[in-house]
Amino acid sequence: MVLLGDREYFKGIGKIPYEGKESDNPLAYKYYDPERTVNGMPMKAHFKFAVAYWHSFCGTGADPFGPGTLMHPWDVSEDPLTAARQKADAAFEFITKLGFDYFCFHDFDLVAEAPTLLESENRLEKIVHYLKEKMEASGVRLLWGTANCFSHPRYMNGASTNPDFRVLARAGAQIKGAMDATIALGGENYVFWGGREGYMSLLNTQVGKELDHMGRFLGMARDYARSQGFKGTFFIEPKPMEPMKHQYDYDAATVIGFLHQYGLQDDFKLNLEVNHATLAGHSMQHEMEIAAARGMLGSIDANRGDYQNGWDTDQFPNNLNEVTLMMLTLLEAGGLQGGGINFDAKLRRNSTDPEDLFLAHIGGADTFARALLIADRILRDSTYRQVRRQRYESFESGKGAAFEQGKLTLQDLHTIALEQGEIPLQSGKQEMLENLINRYI
């Protein structure tokens, strides 16, 4: 069902149909067929595609060199709650026309922050009530909520890692409100992105103290949400830098170590983002493999960087090779743990037609769908799995198995090495596997 408010914001565009790869209709899916079964599950359940409220309904295209280019017709009222309701009308019209099941938000994407904490909480409560009605009427669900503890000037030195306790307390109050909103809307997960949790200079920073504060703070946030009945998963979203010179949630491996150090590993998993991975000097598949290896592959923020510069450009995904490798890891890991694919991506500043927002999401969804079908065929029909398994065959029985079971000592390894003599070389078959992937694409 397409849900319209009092007025239609995306006129002339109806519900986006699946028409198959022969279709030349730009406003149709070519590969994303929500009900099609892949590896025993409908596509829509593999992905749980979500629209990011901030980029799609709040972003104006403004950059350091010029103002916004997108004049949103839902962002005209002087009254913050009227503006927030009209934005919600536009958002739910868009999401239902697109046929996605989910959205994600920051607290102050929903309604503008007020001059005082109390007034902000009041505004949030009112808009959450309105959103709840829209969600019930449309069937659209909340993949995750989060708090924006990075935009307001008070957070310029960090939120939970701020050297001023008063700011830390203020961040705690704000996150409590964002969690209350997420719980009220039946949010399936809650995200922490530490946009300013890091440093600009080591000259004024006590790193150990800040990390301890962040660990304690996250534990408090978890305990609060659990006490309010929240059953979902908490996600940390790694990013190495930008806005800070260095952010503590650098990458998947760093965050996994941090979670274990502060006893958070049973409640928290990772929300990985493609452009954050590349900023950290990794591929997204690397980040996903690291997370999956530790049972922490929670959710994905889908986008891509521009490989000719190092910025976080948050472009919509369209790189089939990159996403195919991601889908290989996703399928091998048995899917995402609680999360979905959130298009944390924005239109280019000069993409100013209302239909551009549809085209961008359609392209992103089709890239993921096509990549999933390719990865599924690779795993099902090719020798990919077998080649990977065979490399480790020597651990399946005998002394290798005994090693894995912790039954050998270093002296045992010495004895074995003396007995076995020189070892024949085993090819890694890298080029063979690279060719195999391309053949299936």
For the bound state, the minimum distance from the C-beta of residue 36 to Co ion, rounded and expressed in Å, comes to 28
Under 8 Å between Cβ of 276 and 249 = no
- Of the two residues 33 and 273, which places its CB atom closer to ligand XUL in the complex? 273
What's the min distance (Å) between Cβ of 283 and Co ion? Answer: 17
User: Per rule CB under 6 A, is residue 249 in the interface with ligand XUL?
Assistant: no
Buried b (16+ CB within 10 A) or exposed e, 170-185: bbbebbbbbbbbbbbb
Cβ contact 357:57 at 8 Å = no
Residue of 33, 89, 109, 312 marked catalytic: 109
* Footprint of ligand XUL on 102-131 (CB under 6 A): 106
Between the alpha carbon of residue 290 and those of residues 301, 324, 364, the distances in Å are 16, 17, 24
Q: Which of 55, 106, 276, 282 is catalytic?
A: 106
Q: Which of 190, 193, 235, 268: binder of ligand XUL (CB under 6 A)?
A: 193
Residue 247 touches ligand XUL, criterion: CB under 6 A:
no
Tell me how far, at minimum, the Cβ of 275 lies from ligand XUL, in Å.
7
Active site residue 106: yes
Give the span between the Cα atoms of 212 and 194, in whole angstroms. Answer: 14
344 binds ligand XUL (CB under 6 A): yes
Q: Is residue 267 a contact point for ligand XUL (CB under 6 A)? A: no
Whose Cβ is closer to ligand XUL: residue 309's or residue 430's?
A: 309
Task: Tell me which amino acid residue 226 is.
Answer: R
Going along 183-290, which residue ranges are E strands? 189-192, 198-199, 233-236, 246-247, 268-273
Nearest-approach distance from CB 435 to ligand XUL, in angstroms = 34
Between CA 274 and CA 288 the distance in angstroms is 10
Is 237 a binding residue for ligand XUL by CB under 6 A? The answer is yes
d(CA 44, CA 266): 27
Is residue 197 near ligand XUL by the rule CB under 6 A? no
Q: CB of residue 251 vs Co ion: minimum separation in angstroms?
A: 14
Integer Cα distance of 97 and 73 in angstroms: 18
Q: Are strands 41-42 and 37-38 parallel, antiparallel or unpaired?
A: antiparallel
**Contact footprint for Co ion (CB under 5 A):** 273, 301, 344
Kindly tell me which residue out of 210, 312, 322, 366 binds ligand XUL, with binding defined by CB under 6 A.
312
Report CA-CA distances (Å) from 31 to 125, 345, 363, 370. 39, 20, 10, 6
Nearest approach, Cβ of 93 to Co ion (angstroms)?
A: 24
Nearer to ligand XUL, 56 or 329 (CB): 56
Q: Is 430 exposed, middle or buried (0-12, 13-18, 19+ CB in 10 A)?
A: exposed
Place of tokens 């004895």: 415
407 CB contacts (<8 Å, ≥6 apart)? none
How many CB atoms neighbour CB 426 within 10 A?
A: 10
Compare residues 287 and 301 and give the one whose CB is closer to Co ion: 301
Binding mask 47-86 for ligand XUL (x = CB under 6 A): ----------------------------------------
Spell out, one character per residue from 135 to 154, where the chain touches ligand XUL: x when CB under 6 A holds, - when not. -----------x--------
Which of Co ion, ligand XUL, none sits in contact with 239, Cβ below 5 to 8 A by type?
Answer: ligand XUL
Q: Which residues are catalytic?
A: 106, 109
The site for ligand XUL (CB under 6 A) is made up of 106, 146, 191, 193, 237, 239, 273, 301, 312, 344
